[in-house]
């Protein structure tokens, strides 16, 4: 019996030694609430400030959001699997970069879907690897952000810049169309005056009606837009809108007694409304960009 008990004890010790131990300080993939997540105390106050500044600079220059995570280890997951599940849980898009570092093992993953593989590999080996190997955790994150800022593909930033360019082009087209319409109608009035010494009442009524319809529509459009985005629109856009409303009111007030004057007021109201729309679009775009930079992960 003594031999049997001894054999059982030895077998139990050997079995316990072969069982995988649960990794200490492991953190499974989870949703990230902040751009910097430090569960290991890897960052000093000055280090965190440097990383935060680099993240802000990268977003300002390239519109890429960098998420930095420090854990003791990646639990039972491979680093790339841990990163993929964290990206999914956090709702990240192609313009979100993720740097996850396991400080106990010096394993890390740096994932940037919008960056070509060759540039990404060069950034890892030349900038991030040396800092990770030296356990310079904040320097690794700053190197990742600055490296992305310097080597990100031009397509990344060009996609961002199309929005304000498109708005500006549309605004120019609208203003130009209004100006052409004003010149065309002025020429018609001059030709009518030269032909019979007076402007046809029927023709003037029709031109006035068209001018009022156009002005009413433009002022109503920017008024609805301003009401929807009142917290984002600046004073200049509001001032142009109020001027447009005053000219439109003057056009309606004089249409019965002074057709030519009413047409001029209506055309001016249309022009001011178009200018107010352009300014309001730019204000809303700028306000949206500011909120997004400090907000949650983008979905693109």
Instruction: From first to last of the 300 residues of the chain, give the pLDDT tens digit.
Output: 454 454 444 444 444 444 444 344 567 888 998 999 998 999 999 999 999 999 999 999 999 999 999 999 988 889 999 999 999 999 999 889 999 999 999 999 999 988 898 998 999 999 999 999 999 999 999 999 999 988 755 444 444 455 566 777 788 788 888 888 878 777 766 665 554 433 333 344 458 899 999 999 999 999 999 998 888 899 999 999 999 999 999 999 999 999 999 999 999 999 999 999 999 999 888 887 766 565 555 544
pLDDT at 12: 45
133 in a structural domain: yes
Residues 42 and 94 in one domain: yes
Residues 210 and 148 in one domain: no
The answer to whether the beta carbons of residues 123 and 92 sit under 8 Å apart is no
13 in a structural domain: no
Residues 82 and 190 in one domain: no
* Residue 103 domain boundaries: 20-152
Residues 125 and 237 in one domain: no
The CA distances from residue 178 to 173, 182, 266, 277, in Å, are: 9, 6, 11, 14
Report the C-alpha gap between 299 and 296 in whole angstroms: 9
Residues 145 and 120 in one domain: yes
CA angle in degrees (0–180, nearest 5) for 32-38-43: 145
Question: For the chain, how many structural domains are there in total?
Answer: 2
Q: List Cβ neighbours of 277 (8 Å cut-off, separation of 6 or more).
A: 171, 174, 218, 221, 222, 225
State how beta strands 107-111 and 96-102 pair: antiparallel
61 in a structural domain: yes
The answer to whether the beta carbons of residues 152 and 59 sit under 8 Å apart is no
298 in a structural domain: no
2 in a structural domain: no
Q: List Cβ neighbours of 69 (8 Å cut-off, separation of 6 or more).
A: 32, 37, 39, 86, 98, 99, 100, 101
Residues 48 and 29 in one domain: yes
Domain CATH code at residue 46: 3.10.310.50
pLDDT at 290: 64
Report the C-alpha gap between 235 and 218 in whole angstroms: 19
Report the C-alpha gap between 182 and 172 in whole angstroms: 15
Residues 226 and 243 in one domain: yes
93 in a structural domain: yes
Please tell me the pTM assigned to this model.
0.46
Residues 190 and 145 in one domain: no
């Amino acid at each position: 019996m003594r031999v049997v008990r001894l054999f059982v004890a030895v077998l139990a010790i050997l079995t316990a030694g072969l069982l995988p131990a649960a990794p200490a300080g492991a953190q499974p993939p989870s949703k990230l609430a902040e751009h910097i997540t430090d569960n290991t105390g890897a960052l000093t106050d000055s280090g965190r400030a440097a990383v935060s500044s680099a993240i802000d600079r990268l977003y300002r220059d390239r519109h890429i959001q960098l998420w930095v995570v420090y854990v003791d280890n990646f639990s039972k997951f491979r680093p790339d699997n841990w990163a993929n599940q964290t990206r999914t849980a956090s709702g990240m898009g192609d313009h979100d970069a993720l740097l996850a570092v396991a400080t106990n093992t010096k394993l890390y993953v740096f994932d940037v879907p919008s960056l070509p593989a060759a540039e990404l590999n060069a950034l890892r080996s030349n900038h991030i690897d040396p800092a990770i190997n030296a356990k310079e955790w904040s320097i690794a994150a700053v190197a990742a952000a600055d490296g992305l800022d310097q080597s990100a593909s031009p397509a990344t930033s060009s996609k961002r810049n199309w929005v304000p360019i498109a708005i500006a082009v549309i605004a120019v087209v609208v203003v130009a169309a209004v100006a052409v319409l004003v010149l065309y109608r002025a020429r018609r009035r001059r030709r009518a005056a030269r032909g019979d010494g007076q402007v046809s009442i029927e023709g003037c009524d029709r031109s006035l009606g068209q001018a009022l319809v156009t002005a009413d529509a433009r002022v109503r459009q920017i008024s609805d837009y301003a009401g929807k985005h009142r917290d984002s629109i600046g004073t200049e856009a509001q001032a142009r809108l109020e001027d447009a409303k005053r000219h439109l009111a003057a056009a309606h007030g004089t249409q019965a007694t002074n057709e030519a004057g009413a047409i001029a007021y209506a055309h001016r109201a249309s022009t001011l409304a178009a200018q107010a729309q352009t300014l309001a679009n730019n204000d809303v775009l700028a306000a949206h960009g500011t909120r997004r930079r400090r907000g949650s992960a983008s979905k693109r």
